[in-house]
């Protein structure tokens, strides 16, 4: 097959991990007989510097003409002024909103080879395989707000409509049907009116998925359960901010935030794929960033947007094999243990195909 991929390296370690991810994608194309046409665009801080806009029109048009988007990272110290008229993160939020990518899928699993590197007892990690489904275009991140400016107060509004909750709940229930048929909906319904609407809507949608077991957990309890009984979760559905925080917390189960991929999906096969970690400006240019989250994001793209399951599994299997061989990037190496560079880790993954 032939597919057009919009490539957005972004800021910080983004260009480094994207370059290696494209090597992996090219290898998959060679091995399975596909043609992946990649075209690069600007987003985030570099786009502000060069174009004056964190999500330029040219990048929007490039993405509109593509079958999927690969993005590495945005942001950095250089653009950290909270009062600036444009910020790198706004480009990412604008892109999600423009393409109506309302469901963010963040898989988290444990790797037996890394069990000793995780700050939890090994018995708690057995069988951990969680899929977070985070609502992506609503809540406090997108609701009405008042910036502080020169005043002494500011606010952000957690706003949801029933339709917004319904559509992401359907994604989560369908995912649960394909997995272990259990869905945990996270809210704060004991305090927030928006979360009472969230819970009642999820209960209503559940009527269409009688084969899936549903339970409701308050967000603070969920944060605790992720570290005390993580294997009890299958699919976790959460609103935008809660899903952001909880899935980052769960990265400790995998060994590092650098291990986690994500897929942002809408009503069609088109999607945005990016690692969960940030731009890590402190290690940018050092060739030591962990590329696993980026590689697994490529795998999610192959699976969800291009329907290439065998190809996605080939990447995942290669990563598992390299970790089993004992190769580690710096973030998942023990103190004093030798670590691989970004390029060296990629070379090892490519050798497994």
The verdict on whether 331 is a catalytic residue reads no
Distance CA 262, CA 127 (A): 20
CB 263 within 8 A of CB 301: yes
Query: Does the annotation mark 244 as catalytic?
Result: yes
- Decide: 97 and 137 in contact? Cβ < 8 Å: yes
> Which residue, among 225, 261, 264, 250, has the nearest Cα to 135 in the 3D structure?
264
Catalytic-role residue among 234, 244, 304, 331? 244
Catalytic residue among 156, 248, 320, 347: 248
204 is catalytic: no
Could you say which of 111, 141, 160, 273 is catalytic? 141
d(CA 105, CA 268): 14
| Element at 145 (helix H, strand E) | strand 145-146
Catalytic residue among 78, 97, 181, 188: 188
Q: Which residues of 204-215 are buried (b: 16+ CB within 10 A; e: fewer)?
A: ebbeebeebebe
Grouping H, G, I as helix, E, B as strand and the rest as coil, residue 282 is helix
Q: How far is the C-alpha of 51 from the C-alpha of 74, rounded, in Å? A: 15
Greatest Cα-to-Cα distance within the chain, rounded to the nearest angstrom: 60
Q: Establish whether 146 is a catalytic residue.
A: no
- From the list 80, 220, 282, 338, the catalytic residue is 220
Contact 276, 257 (CB under 8 A): yes
Q: Known catalytic residue: 286? A: no
Question: Residue 222: how many CA atoms within 13 Å on its side-chain side?
Answer: 27
- Catalytically annotated residues: 141, 188, 220, 244, 248
């Amino acid at each position: 097959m032939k597919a057009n991929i919009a490539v957005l390296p972004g800021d910080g370690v983004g260009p480094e991990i994207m370059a290696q991810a494209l090597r992996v994608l090219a290898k998959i194309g060679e091995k399975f007989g596909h043609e992946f046409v990649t075209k690069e665009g600007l987003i985030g801080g570099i786009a502000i510097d060069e174009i004056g806009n964190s999500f330029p029109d040219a990048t929007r048009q490039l993405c509109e003409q593509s079958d999927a988007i690969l993005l590495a990272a945005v942001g950095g110290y250089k653009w950290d002024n909270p009062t600036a008229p444009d910020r790198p993160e706004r480009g990412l939020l604008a892109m999600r909103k423009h393409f109506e990518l309302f469901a963010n899928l963040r898989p988290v699993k444990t790797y037996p080879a890394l069990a000793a590197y995780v700050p939890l007892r090994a018995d708690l990690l057995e069988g951990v395989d969680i899929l977070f489904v985070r609502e992506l275009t609503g809540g406090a991140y997108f609701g009405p707000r008042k910036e502080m400016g020169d005043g002494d107060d500011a606010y952000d509004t957690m706003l949801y409509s029933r339709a917004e909750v319904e559509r992401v709940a359907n994604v989560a229930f369908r995912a649960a049907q394909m997995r272990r048929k259990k869905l945990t909906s996270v809210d704060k319904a004991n305090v927030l009116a928006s979360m009472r609407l969230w819970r009642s809507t999820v209960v209503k949608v559940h009527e269409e998925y009688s084969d899936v077991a549903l339970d409701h957990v308050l967000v603070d309890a969920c944060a605790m359960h992720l570290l005390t009984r993580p294997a009890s979760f299958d699919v976790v559905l959460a609103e935008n901010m809660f899903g952001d925080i909880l899935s980052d917390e769960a990265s400790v189960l995998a060994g590092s935030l650098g291990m986690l991929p994500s897929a942002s999906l809408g009503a069609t096969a088109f999607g945005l794929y990016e690692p969960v970690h940030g731009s890590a400006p402190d290690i940018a240019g050092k060739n030591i960033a962990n590329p696993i989250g980026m590689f697994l994001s490529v795998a999610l793209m192959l699976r969800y947007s291009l329907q290439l399951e065998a190809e996605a599994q080939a990447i995942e299997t290669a990563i598992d094999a390299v970790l089993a061989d004992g190769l580690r990037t710096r973030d998942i190496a023990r103190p004093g243990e030798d670590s691989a560079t970004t390029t060296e880790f990629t070379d090892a993954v490519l050798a497994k195909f």
